[in-house]
Amino acid sequence: MKGYIYYEEEDAVRNSWFIDELIAAGASLQMDVELITGDVELPSDTSFILYRGRDFEKSRSFEEQGVLVVNRSEVTRITNDKYQSFQLATLLGIPAIPTNMLTSSDEIGTYPVVVKTSEGHGGTDVQLCANAAEVDELRTRYGSSQLLVQPYIEHDASDVRLYVIGDEVVGAVRRTAVDSFKANVALGGVAEDFDAPSPLRQFAEKIAKAIKSDYVGVDFIQQRDGVWLLNEIEDPVGARSLYETSELNVAREVMNHIHKKITKTL
């Protein structure tokens, strides 16, 4: 069974340890797995590609070659557009942070607000704005990029991420910010194991089933009144925090999922 892991070159360097773990996990299942980057034509004997990029058109091009892509291109398209993710949550009846496209600071009635790009990830391109001048500065800085605006939700400077493989939550972490309102570990946040309550697990699994994902992260924040709100869906989701806070071998679980998925089609 021949498969490939796709990363953009810069991301492949940063994720080399996890890539090695995925390749080793595949080998234990008699899966011959290699890393590929950049623009490539897949060999005819390819059984699957574990797509770890964010360009849904590239992902779709692999699908058009008749290859199983994990996650499929529609997952990449929806999860890497925060406005579409919000629309999905609304459609599914899952509470989410109110999100609107930003066209003018005149439309904002109450501050502070959170302004972010629709395609940002890892906590990048997310800013807390206290007034219209700060919003206008961001609109100038990001030019033609689509910006989104959300009310600032009072919470304890933390969020939780649920990791979903197939349609099952396999683990969760709570991430707490340090000197910031953004809890992303890559930006200095601290992660700890989190026992996700049943409603959150149901929300995350409902999302995974709806988009037919293979491996995603689903992030929530909790308001001061205890209500949980979807923040975003992450694909490709990193596993560093889960490795640091649990005994779960994420690479092995992902490759087991892929192996079972392919075996069912044979």
**pLDDT greater than 90 at residue 26:** yes
Residue with tokens 């109110």: 98
Domain boundaries defined on the chain? 2-77, 100-151, 154-253
The answer for residues whose C-beta is within 8 angstroms of residue 216's C-beta and 6 or more apart is 71, 75, 79, 163, 164, 207, 208, 233, 234, 235, 237
* Full strand arrangement of the beta sheet holding 32-36: 32-36, 2-6, 46-51, 68-70
**pLDDT greater than 90 at residue 147:** yes
Lowest model confidence (mean pLDDT) among 75-84, 138-147, 170-179, 225-234: 170-179
Q: Are 256 and 170 in contact (CB under 8 A)?
A: no
C-alpha distances out from residue 135 to 40, 67, 83, 144, 152, Å = 40, 43, 18, 14, 14
Q: What is the CATH number of domain 154-253?
A: 3.30.470.20
Please report the pLDDT score of residue 57 as a whole number: 95
Tell me what the mean pLDDT of segment 143-168 comes to. 91
**pLDDT greater than 80 at residue 179:** no
Band (pLDDT 50/70/90 cuts) for residue 39 is confident
Please report the pLDDT score of residue 178 as a whole number: 63
Separation between Cα atoms, residue 24 and residue 32, nearest integer Å: 9
Please report the pLDDT score of residue 148 as a whole number: 96
Residue with tokens 């000197």: 179
pLDDT for 95-106, tens place per residue? 999 999 999 999
Band (pLDDT 50/70/90 cuts) for residue 119 is confident
pLDDT for 55-93, tens place per residue? 999 999 999 999 999 999 999 999 999 999 999 999 999
Tell me what the mean pLDDT of segment 211-217 comes to. 98
Q: Please state which architecture CATH assigns to domain 2-77.
A: 3-Layer(aba) Sandwich (3.40)
Domain 100-151 has CATH 3.50.50: no
